[in-house]
Chain A
Amino acid sequence: MRFTTPDGLRAWLDRLAQEIDLIAPTDVDGHALYRPVSSSDEVLLDYERPELSAKDYLLPATEVMLRVEQRGSSVTIEEVLPDRKQVLFGIRPCDAHGLAVIDALFLEQDPPDRYYRHHRERTVLVGMACTRMWEGCFCTSMGGGPMDPTHLDVLVRPGEEGFFLRPVTPKGVAILEGLEVTEPRGEPLPVEEYNEPVPVTEPAKWRPLFGDRIWMRHGERCLSCRICTYVCPTCRCFDVTDRVVEVQPGVTRIERIRAWDACTSTNYRRVAGGHNPRPTKPERLRNRFYCKFCYYPEDFGPLGCVGCGRCILSCPVDIDITEMMRDVAERSGG
C-alpha cells in the first residue's frame, strides 16, 4: 500500500496526462462521466458512480475497424488499431468487473476480438474504491464490492488525508513508478453504507421460467429505448456498417465501423426478408435478462451482470433488474 497526498496524486495524474491518454471521471454539465482529460484540474476525486460505464474506451460506442479505399476496380484495406497507451483512472470496481465479464467472451473464446484485445492491452485500469453503495448499487450480490481490487491494475482508496494506492498487477506497479509517495497519514475511509443484497438464481433454475408470465408483466412497459444496454458495463453486442467518407472522381473512401447494438431494440433479430423470431418487447426483455443470468454464465463462465445499478436509474419506465431477480428467485424457490 502506498500513500500520497491529494497534491501528490494530482501531480502524478498531470504527468500521466502528458505521457499517455488519461481518461478520468470529470464533471460534464453536472454529470460525472469518464472522459479524456488533459489536466488533473478536470479530474473528480469525490464523485458518485459515473452515469456511463467505462466500456466505451475498450469497446467504443462507434469504432472504425477498417479503412477501405477503392480506386476503380482496385481496393486496399487498412486495419485501424490506435497504438497510444491509455489509463482509465478512477473507474469504479464494478466497471472493471464489467470488463472482466466481456473478457470471458472477447478474449477467452476463440478467436479473440482483435480490437477489444488491442484496447485491453494498451489500457491500465486504476480504480477508485467506493465509500458507500449508491442508489441501485448491488455489486456485493454479484461477486464484487465497493473496495474490490480483483479486476483492477491499481486500487485507490480515499483516506482522511490523502489516498492509499495498492498495485494489483505488474502493469499497476509500473504505472505507479512516477508517484510521489509519503508517510501514510490518517486512515482509509470505510464503506459507510451497504445496500440490501439481491438474490441471484443459478442459471439452471432460470430455464423452467422461460415461459413464465413475469416477462409479459415487466416487458409490456418497455419502450425499446435501449438505454439499459448502453449504460451497461457488460452489454457488448454490436452492429457493423459501412460509411462512405469521401467520394472523388475515381476514388471512394469508406470506413467499416462497428457500433453498440441492443437486444432490446425492435430490429435486433429481424432478417432482411422481414422475419423476426423475437417480435415482442417481453421476448426481447427476457432475452436481455436470460443473457445475463442464464446464457452467458452457461456458455462463458461469469454472470453477465455486475450490479452497478445503472440500468435501474436510467430506465424511463422503471424496469428494475433487481425486481426481476427477486421475482425469479421467488418463482424458482430461491
Chain B
Amino acid sequence: MRESANPMRPYLGRLVETRELATGIKLFQVELTEREGNAAFADYRPGQFAFLSAFGAGEAPFGITSTPGRGPLLEFAVNELGHVTHTLHDLEVGDPVGIRGPLGNWFPMEELKGRNILILGGGIGGAPLRPVIHTILDHRQDYGHLTILWAARSPDLLIFTEEFDEWRAAWATELYLTVDQGDEEWTDNVGLITQLLERIAPSPENGVAITCGPPIMIHFVFLTLQKLGFASDQMLTTLEARMHCGIGKCGRCNLGEKFVCVDGPVFWQYEIAGFLEGFL
C-alpha cells in the first residue's frame, strides 16, 4: 500500500454476481473499479483477508475465497449473521461495494511445495482454505498427495459443493465429506470431522495439515492430528476475530500480545501453543 493512500479508505468495487453457496451463505463476486484497488489486489495471496463495505451498514472482514491467478474477480463467502452481512445479502448485482485490503499474512504455499497436504474445513471455515486447494490444483505437480476433509453441521451447510467433482478428479487428490447430522438424502459420512480424521488416519510423514472452522473444531482437530503423529510445525490454521481496522491499531482482535490481523490470521500450531491467551 502506498504511503499516501489512506488504509481506512476502501477501494470501490461492484457486485458482479452473487449465488447461494449454502443455507444462509452467499458467494459474492466483486470487481474492483478503481486503478489503485486493482494494483493493491494484483498480488494477493491465499489466506489473506479483506474488509467488505456495504455503505451505510458498515464493513466487516472476510477471508478472500478466490484464488490468485484464477481471474481478476475477488470472491467472498458471506454468512448472514449480523448487520453488515444482512445488508450485503440484500445487495443486487451491479450495486457498489467497498473493499479494503488485502490484509494479514498468508499460507506459505512455496514452503508447502513437495509436501502431502491435508485440508480440514468446517462449515464456512472452508472458505479461506479454498484458495489453498485451488492453488494446489493449479500447480498439481508441485505438491504431494492432497487429502480434503470437508465438514458441516448439516448437508445444506456444505459449501462449494459444485466444485467437488473437480477436486475429486484431480491427480492424487481425495475428498471426504462428513456432516454432524444427515438428512433423508445424505448417504455419506455422519459424525464429527475429528472422527473422520481418526478413521482415515493420514500419515504425518512429509505432511502438513491446514484447518479452519469453528474454534472448538480447530482445537480438537489439532489434538487429533497430534495423536496421529503430526508435529506442531505440521499444523496450520487461520483464525477469525472481530476486527475494525485490519492494520494493528484498533485493538479488537488481540490474542494476548498478538493481533490476529497483522500477526495472522494464519498461524502454525506451535505459535498458538506459545500464546499467553487461548483462542477458544
Contacts and interface: CB of A to CB of B under 8 A. Distances in A.
Interface of A: 65-66, 68, 70, 73-75, 77, 79, 105-106, 109, 111, 113-115, 207, 210, 236-242, 244, 252, 254, 256, 258, 261, 263, 268-273, 275, 277-278, 287, 290-291, 294-295, 298-299
Q: Which of B57, B247, B250 has the most CB of A within 10 A?
A: B250
B244 A299 contact: no
Nearest to B247: A111
B127 to A, nearest CB: 13
Given A111-B1, A263-B251, A275 B214 contact: yes
B169 interface: no
Interface in B243-261: 244-245, 247-257
A242 B81 contact: no
A277 B215 contact: yes
A237 B245 CA distance: 10
A241 B55 CA distance: 10
B85 A272 contact: yes
Nearest to B259: A299
Contacts of B245: 238, 240
A271 B257 contact: no
Which bracket fits the contact residues of B?
35 or more
A291 B59 contact: no
Contacts of A295: 254, 256-257
B37 to A, nearest CB: 12
Interface stretch (B8-16, B105-113, B140-148, B223-231): B8-16
A269 B12 CA distance: 28
B242 A77 contact: no
B232 interface: no
Interface string B209-223: 000001100000000
B30 to A, nearest CB: 13
Contacts of B7: 111, 114
A175 to B, nearest CB: 28
B188 to A, nearest CB: 25
A291 B254 CA distance: 9
A239 B256 contact: no
Contacts of A270: 242
A45 B114 CA distance: 72
Contacts of B252: 237, 239, 261, 268-269
Given A261-B250, A295-B257, A114 B276 contact: no
A73 B244 contact: no
A272 B60 contact: yes
